[in-house]
């Protein structure tokens, strides 16, 4: 574990953990536009790949749901077919549109067009994880691999789209659970976890917490903050000045150090000396 004491007038003089480069605002505007429009890539903290046999139905619905539900979470998403890409099933397009999610413009892509190392989470939507062997085994070796084993609507639907609707809703529930696990701010999903401490977790440690969340970009760095004495309300002044800098900490909770375990953190920063 690394321990630093910044003190009331100190600033950190070294980088105690490999965060990588902070977000840069100096790229050309056209590059920024391209990055902003991409659905996955290094600009996201986590990237998810949804797989099925042909990327025609289940993985497309999962892809659509994650884009719809991720909100402000820094989670990129792509989908692909293990065997190869084909056209997106019309039934999938119709039932997703009923749920106000438009996947009509989605393309059906082949897994071979992607690299496993670009993704943190890989989801097999169809129980087809057994096909990920040999040189494809790397897809199962990412930080998280799950096999949802969803039914195949085109194979079982009686013609009224009922199977499509059921699998659509099951997929939404699974995506919501996935996002809940991804949206935690610290924990074993991160390579390095940082704890910011001050007396009451009301000001300095809250600002540090907010800055790290804002600046970590795609770095696998978890963060929490707590009060050594105990938690109190976050100071309004801290909320105001952080908002002026484009960082919203208004929803942050003020927690007590006693609610955490030191062994869960790699770096501990005392913000108050």
CA–CA distance from 224 to each of 75, 174, 201 (Å)? 19, 26, 10
Helix axes 162-182, 90-98, angle to 10 degrees: 70
From the candidates 57, 125, 126, 128, give the one annotated as an active-site residue: 126
Q: What are phi and psi of 144, to 5 degrees?
A: -135, 130
Show Cβ contacts of residue 213 under 8 Å, excluding neighbours closer than 6 positions: 185, 223, 247
Instruction: Say if CB 52 and CB 58 are below 8 A apart.
Output: yes
Q: Which residues contact 85 (CB under 8 A, 6 or more apart)?
A: 54, 55, 56, 107, 108, 109, 110
CB 260 within 8 A of CB 227: no
Distance CA 28, CA 16 (A): 31
The catalytic residue among 52, 57, 125, 198 is 52
* HSE value, Cβ hemisphere, 13 Å, CA-based, for 164: 21
Mark whether 203 is an active-site residue.
no
- Catalytic-residue membership of 126: yes
- Judge whether 164 and 231 are in contact, CB under 8 Å: no
| Residues known to be catalytic | 52, 126
């Amino acid at each position: 574990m690394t321990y630093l004491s910044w003190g009331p007038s100190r600033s950190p003089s070294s980088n105690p953990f490999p965060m990588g480069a902070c977000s840069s605002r100096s790229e050309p505007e056209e590059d920024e536009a391209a990055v902003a429009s991409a659905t996955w890539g290094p600009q996201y903290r986590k990237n998810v790949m949804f797989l099925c046999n042909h990327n025609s139905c289940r993985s497309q619905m999962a892809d659509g749901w994650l884009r719809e539900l991720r909100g402000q979470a820094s989670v990129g998403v792509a989908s692909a077919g293990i065997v190869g890409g084909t056209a997106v099933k019309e039934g999938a397009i119709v039932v997703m549109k009923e749920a106000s999610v438009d996947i009509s413009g989605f393309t059906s892509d082949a897994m071979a067009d992607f690299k496993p190392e670009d993704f943190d989470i890989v989801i097999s939507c169809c129980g087809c994880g057994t096909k990920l062997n040999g040189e494809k085994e790397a897809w199962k070796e990412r930080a998280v691999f799950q096999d949802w084993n969803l039914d195949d609507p085109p194979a079982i639907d009686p013609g009224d789209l009922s199977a499509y609707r059921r699998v659509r809703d099951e997929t939404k529930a699974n995506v919501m659970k996935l996002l809940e696990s991804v949206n935690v701010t610290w924990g074993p999903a991160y390579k390095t976890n940082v704890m910011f401490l001050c007396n009451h977790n009301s000001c300095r440690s809250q600002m540090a917490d907010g800055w790290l969340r804002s600046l970590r970009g795609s770095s696998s760095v978890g963060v929490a903050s707590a009060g050594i004495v105990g938690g109190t309300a976050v100071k309004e002044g801290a909320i105001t000045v952080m908002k002026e800098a484009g960082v919203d900490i208004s929803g942050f909770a003020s927690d007590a150090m006693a609610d955490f375990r030191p062994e869960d953190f790699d770096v501990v920063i005392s913000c108050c000396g």
